[in-house]
Structure 1
Amino acid sequence: MDMTGQRTLKATQQQAWEALNDPEILKACIPGCKKFEATGDNAYAVAAGIKIGPVAATFNGNVQLTDIVAPTSYKLNFDAQGGVAGFGKGESSVELKPLPEGCELNYTVHSTVGGKIAQLGQRLIDGVAKNMAEDFFKRFEAALEERYPPAETPADSGAAAPSPTPASASGMPTWVWAAGAVAVAVVIWLISR
């Protein structure tokens, strides 16, 4: 299965990169996310509960990040196991491009799945994948707006606009956000064979 997508965000490229670096934001935005943890250099463990028709399971996945170019892009490899529900593996890439009033997030996913989940009807799988992706982006856009609310310009308010707190203050590298996108890719990939 191959999938591509694009989303325009109302945040700067740097703000999107920093928000996607925050593990708490990612865990809250990824549908069904139960775990989001670093396991080594550029490696993460992710667990997400998924229900598609009669099949429900927790998928445990591993993600390895490569070709990280902060704050622009990365590539990743992932695999996940859902017990009798199925398994999957694949690769993805994510890119952020600055726009005059925000940024554009582009992604590609190439994956394969097997097991019970692969036996479900393609229409059902596609519908759930689209709903989960839309749910993630709605949550993420709300988190971005909460974290970086539209500010008055310094000329309007008479004061300098506050600068956002860098995500690196949490002690995590600035590209950790990629793992969150990976988790979404894993979830979408698992349900959209």
Structure 2
Amino acid sequence: MKLEDSVTLPCGRETAWAALNDADVLRQCIPGCEELLQDAPDHMAAKVALKVGPVKAKFAGEVTLSEIKPPESYFLSGEGKGGVAGFAKGSALVRLEQVSTEETILHYSASADVGGKLAQIGSRMLDSTAQRLARQFFDKFRDCVSAKAGV
């Protein structure tokens, strides 16, 4: 499964970069996130509860950041295990393009693989769920950076 999109943020690139690296902001924005701990500058551990079609699961996962180029981009990779529901693993390139001091475009290109019961759901439902979750994340992220930027 692949996802690519761009999102316009009402803040400068420095503000967007700081939010992308703030575990508290990310915890608020990730749908179903119950816990997000940053145990190193390039590593986070998370617990997320999600429902994908008929499958409900709690995932425990880890995310590692690499190719970090502040305040421009990073590559993230991660894996989550949801017991009998299966697993999900993926990666994404996240890039910030400064348009002005008050506007930044966040570009992302992500891919993911799933296994277990999740893989049995079907690609159409998985794709639509992934798109919905991405939209929820970026809507909430936009709200958070707007508040930080005082918009």
Bigger strand share: 2
Deviation, structure 1 residue 41 = 5.3
In the superposition, the TM-score normalised over structure 1's length comes to 0.72
Gapped runs of 5+ residues in structure 1?
A: 151-193
Distance 1:90 1:21, change over 3 A: closer
Larger Rg: 1
Percent of residue pairs bearing the same amino acid type? 38
1:118 corresponds to 2:95: no
Q: Distance in 1 between matches of 2:79 and 2:135?
A: 22
Distance 1:10 1:52, change over 3 A: same
**Native 8 Å contact 2:10 2:104 kept in 1:** yes
Q: Distance in 1 between matches of 2:146 and 2:40?
A: 31
1:4 corresponds to 2:36: no
SS at match of 2:80: strand
Partner of 1:69: 69
Q: Distance in 1 between matches of 2:123 and 2:77?
A: 24
In the superposition, the TM-score normalised over structure 2's length comes to 0.91
Q: Which runs of 4+ in 1 moved over 6 A?
A: none
The AA in structure 2 aligned to 1:43 is H
Say what the alpha-carbon RMSD is for the aligned residues: 1.5
Q: Distance in 1 between matches of 2:12 and 2:58?
A: 34
- Would you say how many aligned residue pairs link Structure 1 and Structure 2? 150
Gapped runs of 5+ residues in structure 2?
A: none
Q: Distance in 1 between matches of 2:136 and 2:40?
A: 29
Deviation, structure 1 residue 53 = 1.9
Mapping for residues 29-178 of structure 1, pairs under 5 Å? 29-40=29-40, 42-100=42-100, 101-150=102-151
